[in-house]
Amino acid sequence: MKEAIVSKGLKVEIVDSPIPKPHADQVLIKVVVSGSNPKDWKVPELRNITGNVGDDIAGIVQQVGEDVTEFKPGDRVAAFHQITQPHGSYAEYAIAAQHTTFHIPRKTTFEEAAAIPLAAMTAAVGLYSHLGLPQPWTPATEPTPLIIHGASSAVGAYAVQFARKSNIHPLICVAGRSRPYVETLIDSNKGDLVIDYRDGDDAVVEGLRKASAGSKLLYAFDATSEHNSYVTVSKVLSEGSKIAGVLPPNNYEFPPGVSHSLVLVGNVHTTQKDIGFVYFRYITRALQEGWFKAQPQEVVPGGLGGIQKALEDLKAGKAHAVKYVFRIADTEGVV
């Protein structure tokens, strides 16, 4: 099979590799579309790890391990591949654990499905495990202001959708040029709004304070975690508040009374398997019911051959409210 290997310098080599075999609790998936994430350039560049770094799989089950009960060959699925492990999504075939694999409804395209796994699970883990917010099936019964910084990112957009299902309002979202996209996700009738970070940090702080309308701000999900986003947000958080981020803060000490935690979505493969199992299955239902929608996608030309340019663009910050996805059949040499 064809497989893309990414190394430092964001060099991508398309190689011929044997088709992997699933272990007892794994699923072998013929990849139709692979998604991508910012970590895909960070792993080779910042951690100097060479390999198939793709983790968002959408395709058709080819083979299952002997302990797999939910899936069979021919099923349309999406899956979250275990980060830094072999047999990722940048290939004709990929391996995923059965508990991080989920069925996709007939109306959901492979392109849409490939935009979901890692980012959606990051949102779920952040909201419900780290911030301890009400689950969608036991929704909030009183106003619960929630700041979501980076609401147009994939993680942020999925956090908005989950939070709405949990009846968490007002959603105080921070976004930039993709503000119109975020406005399609929120419910202004329940006080949700978007603050434009391009107005400057002071304006964002003032906007956050005004949006709180005097209520305590106890919850924040920082889906940006760069460019001092956590500094800005922490200025308005109340005593006893929680902020969850997707990247570690850069030499910053949070104010007393503000608890910060780092969302490590890879833990759904190790210490947090239950939340991974439950929420991936819930996503299937959410897609079927129509209240959960994939972030818009941009199909990168060339299949696996387009990965290098896409990763370079991700590193340069060119992706705005869009997921780069790759149709494997578009790869040169794939039959």
DSSP state letters, 39-97: HHHHHHHHS---B----EEEEEEEEE-TT--S--TT-EEEEEPPTTSSS-SSBSEEEEE
Q: Output the average pLDDT for the chain.
A: 97
Question: What pLDDT, in 10s, does the model give residues 287-330?
Answer: 999 999 999 999 999 999 999 999 999 999 999 999 999 999 99
Q: Output DSSP code: residue 225.
A: -
∠ Cα 334 298 12 (to 5°) = 50
pLDDT of residue 230: 96
Q: CA–CA separation, 111 vs 109, rounded Å?
A: 5
Residues in contact with 195: Cβ distance below 8 Å, sequence separation at least 6, in sequence order: 172, 173, 174, 175, 203, 204, 207, 208, 211
Q: Find the distance separating the first CA and the last CA of the chain, reported in whole Å.
A: 10
Residue from 105, 51, 40 nearest 78 by CA: 105
Residues in contact with 83: Cβ distance below 8 Å, sequence separation at least 6, in sequence order: 39, 43, 55, 266, 269
pLDDT of residue 26: 98
Q: What integer is the mean pLDDT of 144-170?
A: 98
- Cβ–Cβ contacts within 10 Å for residue 106, how many? 8
Question: What pLDDT, in 10s, does the model give residues 197-216?
Answer: 999 999 999 999 999 988 99
Sheet with 171-175: list strands edge to edge: 193-196, 171-175, 146-149, 219-222, 241-245, 258-262
Q: What integer is the mean pLDDT of 223-250?
A: 96
Residue type, 158: Y
pLDDT of residue 292: 98
Q: Sort strands 241-245 and 219-222 into parallel, antiparallel or unpaired.
A: parallel
Helix/strand/coil (H, E, C) string of 154-199? Answer: HHHHHHHHHHHHCCCCCEEEEECCCHHHHHCCCCHHHCCEEEEHHH
Q: What integer is the mean pLDDT of 233-237?
A: 97
Distances (CA, A) of 128 to 219, 242, 271, 272, 276: 11, 12, 15, 12, 11
Gyration radius of the chain's alpha carbons: 20
Q: CA–CA separation, 214 vs 211, rounded Å?
A: 8
Confidence tier at 135 by pLDDT (50, 70, 90): very high
pLDDT of residue 88: 98
Q: CA–CA separation, 230 vs 244, rounded Å?
A: 9
164 phi, psi to nearest 5 deg? -60, -40
**Predicted model pTM:** 0.98
Binning the chain into helix, strand and coil, the percentages to the nearest 5 are 35, 25, 45
Confidence tier at 116 by pLDDT (50, 70, 90): very high
Cβ contact 59:89 at 8 Å: no
Residue from 331, 325, 335, 334 nearest 109 by CA: 325
Cβ contact 313:20 at 8 Å: no
Residue from 19, 20, 80, 13 nearest 50 by CA: 13
pLDDT of residue 137: 98
Residues in contact with 270: Cβ distance below 8 Å, sequence separation at least 6, in sequence order: none
Distances (CA, A) of 102 to 57, 72, 132, 173: 10, 12, 24, 29
Position 335 pLDDT exceeds 90: no
